[in-house]
Structure 1
Amino acid sequence: MSFTHRHKVGFADVDPAGIVFYPRYFEMINATIEDWFRSIGYGFDQMIMQDGFGVPTATIQVDFKAPSRLDDLVELELQLVRLGRSSIGLQINIQCEGELRAVVQQTLVFIRMEGNKPVRIPDSLRAGIERSMEDS
């Protein structure tokens, strides 16, 4: 099961060679994660601004397979690979028209913003995460 976010590669995303400048992928990845949380009913506005939690990246590994270019419509397919006590393991496959462009392995840690300490993922959020992966 997965969640998909689409991104049209714009001029601001590419370097002088006309391909996506690799740091821009990290912004696309973050937008995918933000949209995924919003889709399960816990947007960053509530999580961070109201409730004082966060989900910083603890680890990330990206294997680039092929370049993306201006006007490509890339799809970032998020898959939950591990749901721990206070962390979430994700894989995000970035594709365009069936061609794999990059594979991302990422771990997010659920923290209390005050003190930046990992905390247990609340049961209601855990249930929403599990449900989102079943329904996709």
Structure 2
Amino acid sequence: MLHEFRVRVYYEDTDMAGIVYHANYLKFIERARSDWVRGMGIDQNALRDNEGVVFVIRRIEADFRASARFDDELTVTTRVQAVSGVRLTLHQEVRRAGEVVFSADVVLVSVTLDGQPVRLPEQLRRRVH
């Protein structure tokens, strides 16, 4: 399963050199993950409010490969790499005209509101297997 999310680079996303500030790539991939989950019909607010479950980042391994610049149109892809009881491992890439400018392996963990690990919600596990 491959999810695509488009994002335009705005002036606020860049640094003094006019290239995307490094931390903003994390924002771009976060937006893509949120859009991916929403697209599967999972309401994260309802999941939190009704079941007391949220997702947190356990680990991110990032690779900055090229510079995106102001007004570039980027495509963020999200692909599931592995699913276990409480973990979901994703590979995400940010591309400009097909060229990978940033990639990351992201490990998400589902936890209760007090931070205790809990099994991934069934509705998510069904959709990513």
TM-score band, normalised by shorter chain: over 0.9
Unaligned regions of 5+ residues in structure 1, if any? 131-136
Note the alpha carbon deviations across 1:30-58, whole angstroms, 9 max, x for none: 11111111011113222234432111100
Q: Is the 8 A contact 2:62 2:105 kept in 1?
A: yes
Alignment-derived partner of residue 115 in structure 2: 116
Aligned to 1:48: 48
**TM alignment of 1:86-97, pairs within 5 A:** 86-97=86-97
Flag the 1:22–1:49 CA change in 2: closer, same or farther, 3 A: farther
Using the size of structure 1 for normalisation, the TM-score is 0.89
Count of aligned pairs? 129
Asked whether 1:63 is paired with 2:63, we answer: yes
Contact 2:76 / 2:95 at 8 angstroms: preserved in 1? yes
Q: C-alpha displacement at 1:122, in angstroms?
A: 2.5
> Would you say the 8 A contact 2:112–2:118 is kept in 1?
yes
Residue 37 of structure 2 aligns with which residue? Answer: 37
Aligned-residue identity in percent:
26
After TM superposition, the structure 1 = structure 2 runs for residues 2-13 of structure 1, keeping only pairs within 5 Å, are 2-13=2-13
Alignment of 1:21-32 (within 5 A): 21-32=21-32
Distance change (3 Å), C-alpha of 1:44 and 1:123:
closer
How far apart are residue 112 of structure 1 and its match?
Answer: 1.1
3-state DSSP class of the match of 1:110? Answer: strand
- After superposition, the Cα gap between the structure-2 partners of 1:53 and 1:102, relative to the gap in structure 1 and judged at 3 Å, is same
Q: Which residue of 2 aligns with 1:81?
A: 81
Structure-1 separation of matches of 2:42 and 2:93:
23
Deviates more, 1:47-56 or 1:74-83: 47-56
CA RMSD of aligned residues (A): 1.2
Partner of 2:18: helix, strand, or coil? coil
CA distance in 2, matches of 1:26, 1:10: 15
